[in-house]
Amino acid sequence: MNELQKAIERIAYEDKKFPQEALEVIIANKEEAIPYLRNAVEKAMEEKYELEEGYFV
């Protein structure tokens, strides 16, 4: 898993700490991040009743 994928994972789950570093990685790699973000949103829509606890997207 590359740094961008790890950043997406960090923002996809609820955490008490704001994921500043993860967001900076995502912003710095906007075009690359779009497919990963789209997948996270699609997962939330498709599995909305079966998502693991803490999934936040």
9 vs 53, more confident: 9
Q: What is the 3-state secondary structure (H, E, C) of 1-57?
A: CCHHHHHHHHHHECCCCCCHHHHHHHHHCHHHHHHHHHHHHHHHHHCCCCCCCCECC
| pTM beyond 0.85 | no
pLDDT tens readout for residues 1-32? 799 999 988 888 777 888 899 999 999 999 99
